Structure 1
Amino acid sequence: MAGEDDIFLRATQRTYKGLTQDEEREWRGPFCFIQAADPQLGLMKAWRVGDCDGGGDEWTEEVRLTQQAVRAVNELRPRPRFVALCGDLIHAMPDSPFREEQEKDLKEALRLTDPDIPLVFVSGNHDLGNTPTPATVEQFRRTWGDDYFSFWVGGVLCLVLNSQLFFDASGCPQLAEAHDAWLERQLQSAAHSTARHVLVFQHIPLYLRTPDEDDEYFNLQRVQRASLLRRFHQAGVKAVFSGHYHRNAGGSHGGLDMVVSSAIGCQLGDDPHGVRVVVVTADEIIHRYHSLEQLSERGIDEDLKKLLA
């Protein structure tokens, strides 16, 4: 690689180096990838002491869990085509004194990832602030790459969205308008493209259980939700992958799966620390959440080989 930081800054100019349409537009057969969410360095102690609005002054446990996830992913065979980290990379908000150190420690853990497995970073509310501004968005871009972009893998079109601009764009309305205009162009193009599937990655779920559920902190507001569902359906989106909830959830609506994956880091329910293994076939998107311990067991390789045969 040209430099060690390239693995964190490959999303640029609204695409992803090495995973462009020119390079990856052709379907080459089934493959797998990893969807993970919320390593959120600093939350576990903050949650225990009841100070979840703080930056969290200790994150050794999350670093260990992230390292465990990286080691397990590196050993998977067949090798995943990419890993998508769906937001809340760290717990410290943009103005927290702990932010720079948490980012440094997370990068040190992620640098252990096999260089043949690209890392795709999705922005979350802790990465941008609950009410993002042009300054916090730019801060994210300097550290992790673009906050929204598209990429292609083996004939599959993937859209990475900035869901915070759906949730509360009052601090950066012009950025939200640009994001929405870009998304509309992408969806219009997807509807007429040769993509085998269209997938979306964002931090905040459209919904947790059903499309008509009430608004809450962990889902998008119903007006936004209904609009996005309509637009995604028209474009042929097959699945939306998200995190944010720190529990597994989701559902299906009109052939579009809403996949909510629990966290690498702090759990707010009964799920184990883990990641989701996703198998893409010609006709299906098959996914299963695995604990980090399960992911380390070599039996999963045989399951993958059967699905990818």
Structure 2
Amino acid sequence: MAEGQEVFLRSCNRTFTAFSADDESQWKGPFYFILGADPQFGLMKAWSVGDPDNGGDEWEQEIRLTEEAVQAINKLNPKPKFFVLCGDLVHAMPGEKWRKEQEQDLKNILKKVDQGIPLVFVSGNHDIGNTPTPETIEAYCRSWGDDYFSFWVGGVLFLVLNSQLYFDSSKCPELKEAHDKWLSEQLAIAEQKRCKHAIIFQHIPLFLKNVKEDHDYFNIEGSLRQELLARFHKAGIKAVFSGHYHQNAGGTHNGLDMVVSSAIGCQLGEDTHGLRVVIVTADKIIHKYYSLTELNNQGIEKKLMDLIKQK
């Protein structure tokens, strides 16, 4: 393994080596983590020239923004338990030009995250392709670790899903079947109430604002959405965190919080480049989106920090 690459490959064998289930399966009190989405190196240039498919030959803006995100995270005290990126790490699709360069530039920045803050990666459509294949998924796993896995932190069960398999698995049906089997096993663990909370990370949101909204590029198809929501509700999943939309959005359904977080990189709405602070208490999951400037200059507001310090 190349020097420094281990920080990107902690998800293996469907678990996450930074945390031991034996040590982390019991509730120990409130904690927090940082969630980012869609650094997507190259999209800002591509979007500005109106050529999303071929225009991503520059990514200086994304480099600067991601450096700003890392600086903000490293200032936080106490440290977050981990930093999760909810997909679309780079803009170039598998096999496209600039892919290798974009990935390397992103890794060079992420290596600067405090070593005490593990990095959790979620696969997005630009990471494994709109129609993933065994080859594109394998390539992603070589660079960023498993495309789906679970881990425990402080009595909370976290599931990282490969949502692109729900969007189009036509070229990898066996991998979709394996993912479904694994997910059923993990949801059974959550349903047995062996965890304080259960939380899901995936790139594509189940829905953006309303559970009955029409299916489009930015959400999961309606009938599958309803099926997944029913399964998640039965298992007691408290929240699903996603990116993909490049805007803040979300809603609730049967007690499940669907949180859609805007991007570190290119914005497609009225939000600004930012990160989401997620606080896990004994009773609930609280989250707030901060602009990178706000988090860098002011940190996490006192009333949220007080929640973290509760015993």
TM-score (norm 2): 0.97
Counterpart for residue 282 of structure 1: 282
Q: What SS class does the counterpart of residue 307 from structure 1 fall into?
A: helix
Question: What does residue 69 of structure 2 align with?
Answer: 69
* Aligned residue in 1 for 2:165: 165
Change (3 A) 1:19 1:55: farther
User: Helix, strand or coil: the match of 2:213?
Assistant: coil
CA pair 55-141 structure 1, distance change in 2 beyond 3 A: farther
> Could you tell me how far 1:237 is from its partner in structure 2?
0.2
1:3, CA displacement in angstroms?
4.7
Paired with 2:80 and 2:66, the residues of 1 have a C-alpha distance of 17
User: Which letter maps to 2:165?
Assistant: L
**1:144 aligned residue:** 144
CA displacement at 1:303 relative to structure 2: 3.6
Counterpart Cα distance in 2 of 1:110 and 1:98: 18
Deviation, structure 1 residue 302:
2.7
Write the deviation string for residues 184-230 of structure 1: whole angstroms up to 9, x where unpaired: 01101111142100000000000000111000000000011011100
Q: After the TM superposition, which residues 15-164 of structure 1 pair with which residues of structure 2 at under 5 Å, given as runs?
A: 15-54=15-54, 56-164=56-164
* Equivalence map 1:175-194=2 (5 Å): 175-194=175-194
* Contact 2:20-2:152 within 8 A present in 1 as well: yes
Q: Distance in 1 between matches of 2:148 and 2:20?
A: 14
**C-alpha displacement of 1:163:** 0.2
Report sequence identity in percent: 62
Could you report, residue by residue, the CA deviation over 1:104-163 in whole angstroms, capped at 9, with x for unpaired residues?
Answer: 000001011000000000000000000000000000000000000001111100000000
Structure 1 position 236, deviation (Å):
0.3
Q: Displacement of 1:23 after TM fit? A: 2.2
User: How many correspondences in the alignment?
Assistant: 308
- C-alpha separation in 2, matches of 1:167 and 1:291: 30
Deviations 1:214-270 (A, max 9, x none): 000000000110111000000000000000000000000111000000000000001
Partner of 2:259: 259
- SS of corresponding position for 1:271: coil
Residues 159 and 201 in structure 1, CA contact (< 8 A), matched pair in contact too: yes
Q: Any conservation in 2 of the 1:78–1:301 contact (CA below 8 Å)?
A: no
Moved beyond 4 Å, runs of 4+: none
Q: CA deviation at 1:20?
A: 3.1
| TM alignment of 1:199-214, pairs within 5 A | 199-214=199-214
Name the counterpart of 2:232: 232
CA apart distance, 1:55: 6.1
Distance in 2 (alpha carbons) for counterparts of 1:5 and 1:231:
36
TM-fit CA distance, 1:286: 0.1
Q: 1:297 Cα deviation (Å)?
A: 2.4
8 Å CA contact 2:141–2:147 kept in 1: the answer is yes
- After superposition, the CA RMSD in angstroms is 1.1
TM-superposed CA distance for 1:77, in Å, is 1.4
Aligned pair in 2 of structure 1 residues 55, 194: CA closer, same or farther (>3 Å)? Answer: farther
Alignment of 1:267-306 (within 5 A): 267-300=267-300, 302-306=302-306
**Aligned partners of 1:33 and 1:81 also within 8 Å:** yes
For structure 1, list consecutive stretches of 5 or more residues without a partner in the other structure. none
Letter in 1 for 2:132: P
Instruction: Give the letter for the 1:144 counterpart.
Output: W
For 2:287 and 2:304, the matched residues in 1 are separated by: 11
- Kindly tell me: are residues 79 and 304 of structure 1, through their superposed partners in 2, closer, same or farther at Cα, counting changes over 3 Å? farther
Contact between 2:205 and 2:258, CA under 8 Å: does it hold in 1? yes
Q: Would you say 1:14 and 2:14 are equivalent positions?
A: yes
**TM-score, normalised by the number of residues in structure 1:** 0.98
Q: Is the 8 A contact 1:20 1:152 kept in 2?
A: yes
- Does the CA-based 8 Å contact 2:38-2:88 persist in structure 1? yes
Whole-angstrom CA distance in 2 between matches of 1:133 and 1:154 = 35
Distance 1:20 1:57 in 2: 41
User: Which sections of structure 2, spanning at least 5 residues, go unmatched?
Assistant: none
User: SS of 1:66's equivalent?
Assistant: helix
